[in-house]
Homo-oligomer: A and B are copies of this chain.
């Protein structure tokens, strides 16, 4: 059967220097994306090696070749998920801010932040976070990686919104409040039947962040 990925082409391609490495990287990414899907669909409990290799359509041997143990897979998955999360958020964030009236910038940015918590990456990340509470080894990997992610996050947001310059305390506070409130709202969602109640919470947050911004300028 023909591989759907890079074809060998031994006679036509003059200089594909490292074909094995590219193939291996592709398989690796395939497995990690499949693992992310497993996390989203079945939670950390159903993140099993068998389930992942079924989802990725690879053999047991391929799995074992790239990730010797389950812990190995999870370790790589942490960085994979955080990388995708940062990449997608910054992309959405910057493109949303690009063509937006500065007067509505805060409302738009807050909404993008909320939307970013409904992505597969974040769902997978949250599963890892919850599992890490009772798994010291996972925690030892996840906590430093996430802190590094947060630092990059903050510095990128600072670059994106120069208006906050000189008031990084206020901006950090606004970020922390938004992150906590959105996360809690996401989890409590099934228990708040009325959508108006959820919107009221988000509106309150926008007003609060606007207030913090005004304080930082006055």
Contacts and interface: CB of A to CB of B under 8 A. Distances in A.
Interface of A: 41-46, 126-127, 129-135, 139, 143, 146-147, 150, 172-173, 176-177, 179-185, 187-188, 190-193, 197-198, 200-201, 204-205, 208
Contacts of A184: 179-185, 187
**Copies of this chain per assembly:** 2
Interface centre among A42, A139, A150, A185 (most CB of B within 10 A): A185
Given A139-B190, A180-B188, 19 more contacts: A42-B134, A44-B45, A46-B134, A126-B130, A129-B187, A130-B187, A147-B191, A147-B193, A173-B200, A173-B201, A176-B192, A176-B197, A176-B198, A177-B204, A177-B205, A180-B182, A181-B184, A183-B187, A208-B208
A41 B205 CA distance: 34
Contacts of A126: 130, 187
Contacts of A197: 172-173, 176
A41 B44 CA distance: 16
A188 B183 contact: yes
B176 A201 contact: yes
